[in-house]
A and B are shown apart, each in its own frame.
Chain A
Amino acid sequence: MSTATAAPDGRRTRPWAHLLVGRVTPLGEVLAGGRVATKALQIAVAVFLSVVLWRALYVGTSSQAGLDREQAVTYAVLGTVLVSTRFSASWLNGDTVLQRMQQGTILFWFLRPMSARRYYFVRGLGELGYAQVWLAVTVLVCLPLGVIQEPDPAMLPVFVVSLLLGNAIFYELNLVLDLLCFWTVMNQSAVQIMFFVQTLLSGGFAPLWFFPDWFRTVSLLLPFQGTLNVPVSIYVGRLPASQIAGSLALQVGWVVGLWLFNRWLWERASRRVTVQGG
């Protein structure tokens, strides 16, 4: 059975060939001079400063909000790496929806043999995959050095599943903003606001466990905490076992809900492509 399909010009392409688009961001980062070294240095410094800050804060206390010093440091390190790697190089590479609209090249997204929706998805897959490599490297470096605590082996698969779901929510949230750009034309500020709100409400600035009850209640009603707080809390063992299934179900719910919403937006967005330049 052949898996190849015929392209309009008669060439044979593999169905999985589209996935190669996902390499664009990682390759761009690796091949552009100094970006990987820059990122490595930035993560190393950010992790070092997070560790010394949280250790210093815990000097006079052994536990706060159910987190001991090692748990808080581990949470802070994982949160720092996730925040600093997830927001990708799309802007630098000139491949955001806003930049494409301003240049007029957004049109090509709808003229290629690959649909705009799939192109965006595969690019996102590559970018988030690249971010996970940084996370894995950080964990592999920090664990032997004793900077972060080891995860409970039984919880490790749960953490991985929750992290995948968190990345999916993150992807869908950013997709909402990019798709709204088809109506609002500009989305720079919305993207920045989303970054700050997402970082704050996901626990990227400080573990959500330290926040007042009302704040955590609000964050539970929103999708952001599923992007970081849930997986990281599972890793550090702070999320009670009785709440893990519910938290995972909530993550799945957000993924499905946002996916359906974005599917609806994509259909409408593709009917009203606006370009400003060209």
Chain B
Amino acid sequence: MTTHLVGTGSESAAQRFAAAWILALRITRLNLRARLEYRAEFLLTVLTGLVWQTSILVFASVLLVRFPGMGGWTSPQVLLIASMRMVSHALFILLFGRVLWITGLVQLGSIEAFLLRPLPVYRQVQLSMFSVNAIGDLLVAATLTTMAVTRFDLPWTPARVALLLAGLLGGLLVEAAVHTAISAFGLHLGGTVYWSNWTEELMATFGNYPLNILPKVAQAALTYVLPIAFLAYLPASLVTGQTQGRAVPGLVVALIPLVGLGAFVASRLFWNASLRRFQGVSG
């Protein structure tokens, strides 16, 4: 049996789309097998995701216990923010997480090889390895979401569930957009890894709380400069109906999936433009 990796030009768009996904899944399966070659490292990487998310969770729990009633939000509602951020982050790592390794790929000279192959470079970056830590992230995220959903103090109506799902999608796209934009710089500057690590830390630290507890200037910075508010706080405000001190109009919050999609498309265009100027830094 032969598989046609490159289109002959006569297939429909649907066939090409399906072929691209089949190829992506096959490469992902191979990547997973490659990571499984180092069994201990594989398990440790799963553990990395678990430990990282758990440590953030412990931090958030400690603050919740010591300082209840943050910004008018009840503890189950704050828990919902934390769980939404974890789910969208875990999905980001699973689907787009390789952009965080862009400087490493540039150092290894992988981008030059990607440019020679008949697949979009961004897609090849995403298929360059399997993010094993996403498994750990998803495990913690699923556990936390179960806790948050069962302890939630408002009824789960279909509308509220739809808002939750839309918020998760928006958060995922916004995070992907931010890191894709940063990785566009990573194609040229090795030091970009500082920025992506730092941004990830800020998102992990400040993405779990109702940001209306912060002064207006900090809230504005975390909304319009680094859009951490869009990851979970604003979507959760829609689910919970908590609008006290919210700095963003309700209409914008309601359109978060579209905002996220727009931001992601813009970041991809920026990434492509950056790639056209790629010169390579490796030997």
Interface residues of A (CB under 8 A from B): 32-35, 38-39, 42, 45-46, 48-49, 52-53, 56-61, 64-65, 84, 92, 94, 184-186, 188-190, 192-193, 196-197, 199-200, 205-206, 210-211
Binary flags per residue of B214-231, CB closer than 8 Å to A gives 1, else 0:
110010001000000000
Structural contact, B41 and A197, CB atoms closer than 8 A: no
Structural contact, B40 and A184, CB atoms closer than 8 A: yes
Structural contact, A189 and B47, CB atoms closer than 8 A: yes
The size of the chain B interface, using a CB distance under 8 A, is: 39
User: Is B17's CB within 8 Å of the partner chain A?
Assistant: no
Closest to A67 in B: B66
A188–B40 Cα gap in the complex (Å)?
11
Structural contact, A42 and B194, CB atoms closer than 8 A: yes
The binding surface of chain B is classed by DSSP as: helix
A94–B194 Cα gap in the complex (Å)?
14
Please name all residues of chain B whose beta carbon is closer than 8 Å to the beta carbon of A32 when the two chains form the complex: 191
Structural contact, A189 and B67, CB atoms closer than 8 A: no
A176–B70 Cα gap in the complex (Å)?
41
Please name all residues of chain B whose beta carbon is closer than 8 Å to the beta carbon of A60 when the two chains form the complex: 67, 69
Please name all residues of chain B whose beta carbon is closer than 8 Å to the beta carbon of A196 when the two chains form the complex: 48, 51-52, 55
Min CB–CB distance B129 → chain A (angstroms): 12
The binding surface of chain A is classed by DSSP as: helix
User: Is B259's CB within 8 Å of the partner chain A?
Assistant: no
User: Is B161's CB within 8 Å of the partner chain A?
Assistant: no
User: Is B22's CB within 8 Å of the partner chain A?
Assistant: no
Min CB–CB distance A68 → chain B (angstroms): 13
Binary flags per residue of B32-55, CB closer than 8 Å to A gives 1, else 0:
000000101100110110011001
A58–B66 Cα gap in the complex (Å)?
10
The one of B47, B103, B205, B215 in contact with A56, judged by C-beta atoms closer than 8 angstroms, is B215
Structural contact, B214 and A188, CB atoms closer than 8 A: no
